[in-house]
Amino acid sequence: MATVNSLKFTDSTLNQRFPALTTKDLHDYLIQGCGGPNLAATYHLARVVANTGIQADELEELHLECIDPVRNRIEVPMHNGNHRVRYIPLRPKTFDSLMALHGLNGASDFIFGDFPKHSILRASSGLQSAFPHKKDRANLSNLRWVFAFMLLEAEVPEYLVDYCLGADQCCLHDDRHKMSPKVKCELLARELNRKVEEL
């Protein structure tokens, strides 16, 4: 799994590896609206990933109980590491898109319906149409990179970016390792609200 530490390339390397999607690309796309009912799932999926950095396999497991609009966070089940869950800050546009995705996928308890892998694949395939000039880079992984770069450019601490991406690499002897997921989520939410506009 890629971590923020692996994002430290020279400018020339960055240009070679990520001529990809930019924050402006996503901003321009998202302010235009979804472009019709057939593209709604793609639009809302793009917004969720671009604002949270959540992984595709984590999206598959999201159900309504994971979404907490009172505490403004998403509870993401973990399958490795020291904690069973991590919490990702939830902001208003992201919440609206998650609820829209749930509405598009029937009466299931899962955000992406009873067949989430199929729903996510179908929605993500629309990214190539959404970004026709960058369709070789239009995928969920690159949306996560945009999110990571956006946070790094805003000088959000790297350990919080790693945590949000699900790549928490704090050493055992590091005091930050002892922080609970809830504390990290609160710190990250504070940084996002101060420094990073929700797309």
User: With 50 as the cut, is the pLDDT of residue 198 above it?
Assistant: yes
- Domain total for the chain? 1
Q: Does position 168 have pLDDT exceeding 70, yes or no?
A: no
- Res 7 pLDDT > 70: no
Identify whether 159 is part of a domain: yes
pTM of the prediction? 0.85
Residue 169: per-residue pLDDT: 52
The reply to whether 97 falls in a domain is yes
Q: Are 144 and 55 in contact (CB under 8 A)?
A: yes
Q: Any bridge partners for residue 68, and if so which?
A: 73
Domain that holds residue 56: 19-195
- Domain contains 46: yes
What's the pLDDT at 79?
A: 65
| Selected residue with higher pLDDT from 173 and 76 | 76
Answer yes or no: are the C-beta atoms of 21 and 142 closer than 8 Å.
yes
pLDDT of residue 81: 56
In angstroms, rounded to a whole number, what is the distance separating the alpha carbons of residues 66 and 83? Answer: 16
Please provide residue 58's backbone torsions phi and psi, each rounded to the nearest 5 degrees: -75, -35
**Which pair of tokens denotes residue 14?**
């960055």
| Domain contains 44 | yes
Q: How many CA atoms within 13 Å lie on the side-chain side of 111?
A: 29
pLDDT digits (tens, 9 = 90+) for 17-68: 545 678 888 888 898 887 777 789 999 999 999 999 999 899 999 999 999 9
For residue 2, being part of any structural domain is answered with: no
**Domain presence at residue 38:** yes
- Specify the CATH number for the domain of residue 176: 1.10.443.10
pLDDT at 2 over 50: no
